[in-house]
Chains A and B, each alone.
Chain A
């Protein structure tokens, strides 16, 4: 079992709060990713769950049991660190079995567990090697193996892939995902990499300044961001933000930026907007679609291409639509565009996000 309940958790150094009144509850078997920029408190939260730093207030419960002041070793957790933290003087085998040896588990059982984890992570040929004779990816696999051997109900990952190169990172990401599907245990994973977050998580907790901004499925976090921070933090290439106000004149609802008018009647507002409300319209580059011909459709604009950024599978284009509106939009990389061409695009309003400019919240 691996439920985690965090109630009103405070963590402060001297007088500065790193985490303030944080609540988070994690279901058994869930893969939670804590995502945020550096300094947002995500690693602090993970360390608090692991019992590696003292809390200043609030409580942490595992399966209903209060573990706020329990020693890390008694929490039933396994942890993987960014710098691998392998014991340099021990072989891979000894590294993986260390926890069990400390706990005084029978030799036969230790052997079985180590072999099981080694097989799972394809570490069998490396068991007799020292960490210094391993590559980065192998070291991180050993670190994961060491956590697995402990038979924990909750696994904590502290930016485990940050030190690896892009290709290895993608490989190991896949392995972690497979591992979660196989073991079905609770995993809490800290990262600043949105791709890792989106691919791995059941739910993502986006954090900033020690506060969880949004806790939701990857789909919702990406497509229905709760506020401007989440909207701009996720997505690469980043979201276009247009500032303006709403007008309800003439039946529908119109978004008016300085020299651009967008009909947002089809957008699903959470709260009914007010006349003249100052809002920010967030449009992801993939929601601005190139339209050929001159169909009479809503929200079609023509602009001039200023910059073309090929990104392999797709191409990002920066086009100028009016005197002070330059937006980025994606096109299939098969389509050839060059600087100076004119282009006609449609903004898909239903897939946009509208935020109150003052509060930053989605409306």
Chain B
């Protein structure tokens, strides 16, 4: 008897805890479901509205499904909606955004990586002060820089050009990119860096051969951040790009905010979804990379 009762007790407590856990689980899923619905509702409304005719939008509930699905308004949004005087749709803005995005992301991530690497491994005098200054930059609002930057760009002749926008994105992305990479590199053992130095690698060889291949997880995080930030940017594009290079967000604004004529809600909704598609795809496609740690195996284990 003595040997049985503790076992019984153990079973009893295990059962109780598993029931508790079940209820807890139901609670968690319930909460997540409600939250997901809450955040998905606007997307749903946008999606259904983009397929409806204008009359249908006016007459029926905003939650109702479209009577017949038509892609016409998406086509209009993409290729023939008016953005001011021209009526070429969002496609112009899309390609402008791509042209801005690709160099900006590559250059700003590269700069961030090199800065972070230099700050965490090549401990020069005053490195911390330098880093503090860089971080301070992250807390000053963009608007403060705009006028001085316009003057500088006008002076050197890149105001209203693609180069101007790209340079601006690189500058404004630098603090956060540097912080990201510095924090990542400071988790790597300094011995790895020392070993490479003894093996004869210099500043750039250590970076490109040893550090960069180990940085995949953080590069992916950085790329996601920069793609989202730069794609969603409105202010820098509006101010620095010039009329020929306006990014998609600015074009979207021009379509949606036309003051004359009837408001084409369906086209507006389609245009908005089109504009937000790129960051959305990036998130979905790269989710699994977030968790991966490449550095495992270099240190003791």
Contacts and interface: CB of A to CB of B under 8 A. Distances in A.
Given A102-B199, A102-B205, A103-B200, A52 B300 contact: no
Given A102-B205, A130-B297, A132-B297, A87 B198 contact: no
Interface in A56-98: 71-73, 77-79, 81-89, 98
Contacts of A131: 297-298
Nearest to A156: B198
B191 A85 contact: yes
A87 B297 CA distance: 9
| Residue from A50, A81, A88, A143 whose CB has the most chain B CB atoms within 10 Å | A88
Nearest to B215: A89
A146 B195 CA distance: 10
B154 interface: no
Contacts of B213: 89
Nearest to B195: A85
Given A102-B201, A102-B205, A131-B297, A88 B194 contact: no
Interface string A115-158: 00000000000000011110010000001001000100000001
Question: How extensive is the interface on chain B, given as a class?
Answer: 20 to 34
Contacts, number: 86
Interface string B192-235: 10111111110001000110011000000000000000000000
Contacts of B298: 83-88, 131-132
B296 interface: yes
Nearest to A54: B123
Interface residues of A, number: 32
Contacts of A82: 191
A266 B195 CA distance: 53
A89 B214 contact: yes
B214 A52 contact: no
B192 A87 contact: yes
A99 interface: yes
A314 to B, nearest CB: 33
Contact of A83 (B191, B199, B201): B191
A250 B249 CA distance: 105
Contact of B296 (A47, A77, A88): A88
B300 A84 contact: yes
Contact of B301 (A47, A99, A136, A158): A136
A199 interface: no
A88 B301 CA distance: 12
A95 B295 CA distance: 15
A85 B214 CA distance: 13
B199 A73 contact: yes
Contacts of A89: 210, 213-214, 294
B199 A99 contact: yes
Nearest to B299: A83
Contact of B196 (A71, A87, A150): A87
A87 B210 contact: yes
B84 interface: no
Nearest to A103: B200
B189 A83 contact: yes
Contact of A79 (B192, B198, B214, B294): B198
Nearest to B212: A89
A89 B192 CA distance: 12
B139 to A, nearest CB: 29
Interface string B161-194: 0000000000000000000000000000101101
Interface in A143-177: 143, 146, 150, 158, 163
A99 B197 CA distance: 9
B194 A99 contact: no
B135 to A, nearest CB: 23
Nearest to B192: A85
A85 to B, nearest CB: 4
Contact of A132 (B196, B201, B296): B296
Contacts of A52: 194, 197-198
Contacts of A77: 198
B300 A79 contact: no
A150 B299 contact: no
Contact of B194 (A79, A98, A103, A132): A79
23 contacts: A50-B198, A52-B198, A73-B199, A73-B200, A77-B198, A79-B195, A79-B198, A81-B194, A83-B300, A84-B298, A85-B189, A86-B195, A87-B195, A88-B214, A88-B297, A89-B214, A98-B196, A98-B201, A102-B199, A102-B205, A132-B296, A146-B195, A158-B191
Which 8 A-B pairs give the minimum distances between C-beta atoms?
A: A132-B297, A99-B199, A73-B200, A88-B298, A85-B191, A85-B195, A89-B213, A81-B191
Given A99-B199, A131-B297, A132-B298, 5 more contacts: A52-B197, A72-B197, A81-B191, A89-B214, A133-B297
Interface of B: 189, 191-192, 194-201, 205, 209-210, 213-214, 294-301
